[in-house]
C-alpha cells in the first residue's frame, strides 16, 4: 500500500506540472556566496580550511579625499578587474559611507572571490588620540554600529578594524588604548546582540617597536568579552634586499609564538630600495605560517606617497599599471598559500595585561580597567543603530554623551540576541562534517526503503 501511495503522489505531482513551460530569459550568472571566515585558535578558517590573507589595501584618493570606493559600482568594478589580475583574495578599505548602498560592489567582490577587511571609522567619526575620552561617545558608537549593520549582511565581509594606528609613536597616544579596546568590546557585543554571525573584530597597530608588544598583549588580556578576535599590525621593516633574519621578522615570529589569536600584517611593503615583494615568500612559508595568517600589501593606487602600484585618473576608466603591479602579481603566483593547517594552534588563549610603566601609561584606567559603554548607546544593542550618518555627518568627536564610569568585568558579554539566542563565546575550531553528510544519506535511503515496503 505504501508503494502505491508513493506512486500515486509522484503521478499527481507530474500531472500538476504537465504542459509547456514558458521560456524565461536567463539572468547573468552570479557566483555562489563565498564561505564565511571565522577566527579560531590562532588562525582564520573558511569552513575547515585554513584561510590566509593575501590582499591589498584599497582607498582611491587616500585618506584626505575620504571617499567610499565601494559605493560607486563604476569605480569598484574597474578596480576589481585589476584585483583579479593580481590574484589577491582580500582588500582592506579604510573608510566607507554607512548611509550608502554597497550591494553591487560587495557582489562584484564576491564574484571575484575577494573578501573585505573594513575599518569602521572615518575622519568625522573616530577616537581622537589626543582627546580620547570626549570622542568615545554614543554618537560615535551609533556610526560604528551602523557600519556593522550595513556590512554584516555580506558573507565576504571578513573582519572589522576597531581602529587604525590610534596608538602611535607619540607617548601620550597610549592613553587612547582603553577607549579603542572599549570600542572593540562594544562592537563584538553589538554583533552578538543583533544576531549577526561572529564577524571577527580587531585592531590595526602602527609600526612602532617601542609599544608593539604591549599593544598586542593589551588587546588580548582581560575577560573574554574585552579581548579582540585578532591582532594586526603594520610592518615596513623588510626593505629589499633583505631576509627573514635581516629584517627582524624571525624575532617577531618568536615574540608572537603562543600569542593565542590570529595575527596578520594590516600593511606591508617597504619602498626604500624598490619593491620586489620577496617578503611574501617568508610570509607564506612554514617559517611564519604557524603564527601569521598573511597580510595586506600597501597599497593599490598611488596617492602621492610612492606606495601605489597603479595610477588612477579620477573617476575615469583609466588605470595605468606601474612596474610594481607586475612584480606583485608575480610574487603572488610564485608564493602560494601554504597547504594544510600551516601548523596553526587550535586553542585560543589570553595573555596577561601589560604592566604600567614609563611607556605604557594608561592614566586613571590602570593596566586593565575600561570605560563603560556610554549610557546613550546601550539601547542600540536591542533596538539597532538605525540609519548611518555617512561621511558628511556632523561628526562625533565633541558630540557629548560620553562614558561616565568604569565597566564591570564581563559587562560586554552577550546575554541574548535579537532573535532570542545566546550569542556569547568564540567559535569552536572547525570540525569534519563528513560524518553528518554520510548519516544524512543513509537516513534518506532508509526512509525511501520504508515507504516502498
180: which residues sit within 8 A by CB, 6+ positions away? Answer: 127, 132, 162, 163, 166, 167, 203
Concerning whether 165 is annotated as a catalytic residue, the answer is yes
- Which SS3 state, helix, strand or coil, does residue 213 take? helix
State CA 358 to chain mean position distance. Answer: 32
Give tens-digit pLDDT for 154-163. 999 999 999 9
Angle CA 80–64–313, to nearest 5: 45
100 has pLDDT over 80 = yes
Query: What does the pLDDT look like over 192-245, one tens digit per residue?
Result: 999 999 999 999 999 999 999 999 999 999 999 999 999 999 999 999 999 999
The three cell numbers of residue 330 are: 608575480
Q: What beta strand segments (E) does 168-259 contain?
A: 201-205, 230-235
Q: How many residues does the chain have?
A: 453
The residue with greater pLDDT, 19 or 146, is 146
- Give the list of residues 6+ apart from residue 246 with CB closer than 8 angstroms, or none: none
DSSP code, position 21: P
Q: Residue 314: its pLDDT value, please?
A: 74
Rounded to an integer, what distance in angstroms lies between the CA atom of residue 20 and that of residue 31? 30
Instruction: Identify the burial level of 200 via C-beta atoms within 10 angstroms of its C-beta, where 0-12 means exposed, 13-18 middle and 19 or more buried.
Output: buried
**What's the pLDDT tens digit per position in 252-310?**
999 999 999 999 999 999 999 999 999 999 999 999 999 999 999 999 999 989 999 99
Cis peptide before 345 (omega within 30 of 0): no
In sequence order, what E strands does 64-156 have?
Answer: 90-93, 115-119
Task: Record the cell numbers describing residue 41, joined without a space.
Answer: 585558535
Res 428: pLDDT: 57
Set of cell numbers at residue 210: 617601542
What is the pLDDT, as a whole number, of residue 1? 39
Q: Assign 46 to helix, strand or coil.
A: strand
Q: Decide if pLDDT at 417 tops 60.
A: yes
Rounded to whole angstroms, how far apart are CA atoms 413 and 41? Answer: 20
The pLDDT of residue 73 is above 60: yes
Reply yes or no on whether 267 is catalytic.
yes
pLDDT at 10 over 50: no
Residue 219's contacts (CB-CB under 8 Å, 6 or more residues apart) are 181, 184, 202, 203, 227, 228, 231
Cβ–Cβ < 8 Å for 120, 187? yes
Instruction: Name the region of 17 (left: φ>0; alpha: ψ -120 to 50; beta: rest).
Output: alpha
| Residue (of 336, 241, 321) closest to 289 by Cα position | 336
Q: Which of 226, 267, 279, 324 is catalytic?
A: 267
Band of pLDDT at residue 31, cut at 50, 70 and 90: confident
Q: Are 124 and 45 in contact (CB under 8 A)?
A: no
Question: Annotated catalytic residue: which of 150, 165, 299, 324?
Answer: 165
Beta bridge partners of 265: 233, 295
pTM: 0.87
Amino acid at each position: 500500500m505504501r508503494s502505491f501511495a508513493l506512486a500515486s503522489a509522484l503521478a499527481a505531482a507530474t500531472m500538476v506540472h504537465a504542459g509547456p513551460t514558458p521560456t524565461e530569459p536567463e539572468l547573468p550568472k552570479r557566483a555562489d556566496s563565498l564561505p564565511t571566515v571565522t577566527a579560531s585558535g590562532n588562525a582564520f578558517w573558511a569552513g575547515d580550511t585554513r584561510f590566509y590573507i593575501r590582499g591589498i589595501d584599497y582607498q582611491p584618493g587616500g585618506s584626505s579625499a575620504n571617499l567610499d570606493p565601494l559605493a560607486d559600482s563604476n569605480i569598484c568594478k574597474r578596480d576589481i578587474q585589476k584585483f583579479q589580475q593580481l590574484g589577491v583574495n582580500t582588500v582592506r578599505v579604510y573608510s566607507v559611507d554607512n548611509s550608502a548602498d554597497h550591494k553591487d560592489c560587495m557582489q562584484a567582490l564576491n564574484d571575484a572571490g575577494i573578501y573585505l577587511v573594513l575599518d569602521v571609522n572615518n575622519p568625522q567619526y573616530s577616537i581622537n588620540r589626543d582627546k580620547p575620552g570626549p570622542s568615545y561617545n554614543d554618537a560615535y558608537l551609533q556610526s560604528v554600529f551602523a557600519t556593522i549593520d550595513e556590512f554584516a549582511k555580506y558573507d565576504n565581509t571578513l573582519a572589522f578594524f576597531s581602529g587604525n594606528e590610534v596608538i602611535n609613536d607619540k607617548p601620550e597616544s597610549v592613553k587612547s588604548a582603553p577607549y579603542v579596546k572599549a570600542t572593540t568590546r562594544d562592537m563584538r557585543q553589538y554583533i552578538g546582540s543583533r544576531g549577526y554571525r561572529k564577524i571577527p573584530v580587531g585592531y590595526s597597530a602602527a609600526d612602532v617597536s617601542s609599544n608593539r608588544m604591549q599593544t598586542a598583549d593589551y588587546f588580548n588580556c582581560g575577560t573574554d568579552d574585552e579581548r579582540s578576535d585578532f591582532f594586526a599590525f603594520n610592518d615596513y621593516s623588510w626593505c629589499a634586499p633583505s631576509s627573514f633574519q635581516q629584517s627582524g621578522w624571525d624575532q617577531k615570529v618568536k615574540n608572537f609564538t603562543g600569542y593565542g589569536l590570529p595575527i596578520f600584517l594590516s600593511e606591508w611593503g617597504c619602498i626604500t630600495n624598490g619593491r620586489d615583494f620577496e617578503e611574501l615568500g617568508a610570509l607564506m612559508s612554514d617559517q611564519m605560517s604557524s603564527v601569521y595568517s598573511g597580510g595586506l600589501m600597501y597599497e593599490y593606487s598611488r596617492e602621492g606617497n610612492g606606495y601605489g602600484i597603479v595610477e588612477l585618473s579620477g573617476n575615469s576608466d583609466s588605470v595605468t599599471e606601474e612596474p610594481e603591479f607586475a612584480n606583485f602579481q608575480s610574487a603572488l603566483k610564485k608564493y602560494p598559500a601554504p597547504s594544510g593547517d600551516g601548523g596553526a594552534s587550535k586553542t585560543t588563549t589570553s595573555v596577561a595585561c601589560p604592566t604600567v610603566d614609563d611607556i605604557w601609561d594608561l592614566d586613571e584606567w590602570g593596566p586593565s580597567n575600561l570605560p563603560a559603554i556610554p549610557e546613550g548607546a546601550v539601547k542600540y544593542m536591542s533596538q539597532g543603530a538605525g540609519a548611518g550618518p555617512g561621511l558628511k555627518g556632523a561628526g562625533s568627536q565633541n558630540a557629548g554623551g560620553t562614558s561616565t564610569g568604569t565597566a564591570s568585568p564581563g559587562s560586554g558579554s552577550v546575554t541574548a540576541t535579537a532573535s532570542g539566542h545566546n550569542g556569547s563565546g568564540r567559535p569552536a575550531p572547525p570540525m569534519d562534517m563528513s560524518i553528518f553528510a554520510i548519516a544524512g544519506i543513509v537516513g534518506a535511503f532508509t526512509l525511501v526503503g520504508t515507504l516502498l515496503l
